[in-house]
Structure 1
């Protein structure tokens, strides 16, 4: 099993997508890097902590490759907007791949090079991951009737999985 870390806006949206990918074993929402030890959602929302909202993906590399996960990552968010996905604005909503080894770093950098010059996605080493609060975990599956989920996440799932 391998692990990948992606930031692509609100982690609720990203989590919902990757939970539905064959070969993905587990997805957890959380916060990467940044300056605050053991941050919480309130810390992150200030935009001053330096953390990104991320998902931690545990995947079976015999069923799905890191490159295939990169394909999903870039197909399901706008990697050309700096620090913003839709109405979610701030550095915590940036587009970033946090790599855990040199192979992931090179694959992410090569994947971005194949795309166009407008990509703002950063590729950075994972320094630390902090799981988000329990109520953020499995958010869409537990709250699909909430307005944010119904208006933003459900259409994204419908678009990608049709």
Structure 2
């Protein structure tokens, strides 16, 4: 599959190290890039985004094969592997850069995301209403190289053990049929 045939999804579910580690395990996901989105500030750095003053969220941009995995399937994984009910927070990570957000690439993604949120709220699967923002993607800025594939290179670090591993355990239990072979 060529890059031109792939679709993109841009999602923020807290720390991008966590979100990237989840989505790289899915069949049909070709590439996951950690980065920043949600602000007109150009070329943000990690240090700037961490201040919470740029308006960016930590996000991942997922290049996926829509013939193998659908956008709705990606959203199912997204909502199952972070807390979409906490405003500007995921666990101990607090600030607008950790907000739950879906940056859409087109009207169909916007509609799909809105429908998914309404359905999940109607089902009352979470202890509180979903606060995930749905916005058109203004611009995606890839994060610095040392953030790419972070979990793969640092899995034994305490943060990875305490925060990322439980997300991966949940993913592997709930979405076993969606995992790439050998994951």
1:92-122: CA deviations, max 9, x gaps? 0000000000000000000001011710001
2:145 equivalent to 1:134? yes
Q: What's 1:3 paired with? A: 8
Give the structure-2-normalised TM-score. Answer: 0.87
CA distance in 2, matches of 1:83, 1:16: 20
TM-score (norm 1): 0.98
**Aligned residue runs from structure 1 range 14-93, under 5 A:** 14-93=19-98
Matched residue count: 162
Structure 1 residue 151: Cα displacement: 1.1
Quote the RMSD (CA, aligned, Å). Answer: 0.8
Give the CA deviation at 1:88: 0.2
Deviations 1:29-52 (A, max 9, x none): 000021321000010011010000
Could you tell me whether the CA contact under 8 Å between 2:37 and 2:57 is conserved in 1?
yes
The 1-side partners of 2:40 and 2:64 are apart by: 28
Partner Cα distance (1:105, 1:80) in 2: 19
SS in 2 for 1:148: helix
CA–CA separation in structure 1 for the residues paired with 2:166 and 2:117:
26
Moved more, 14-23 or 147-156: 147-156
Which sections of structure 2, spanning at least 5 residues, go unmatched?
1-5, 122-127, 174-183
Q: Which has the larger radius of gyration?
A: 2
Taking the aligned partners of 1:12 and 1:139, their CA distance within structure 2 comes to 6
Secondary structure in structure 1 of the residue aligned to 2:69: coil
> In structure 2, what is the equivalent of residue 157 of structure 1?
168
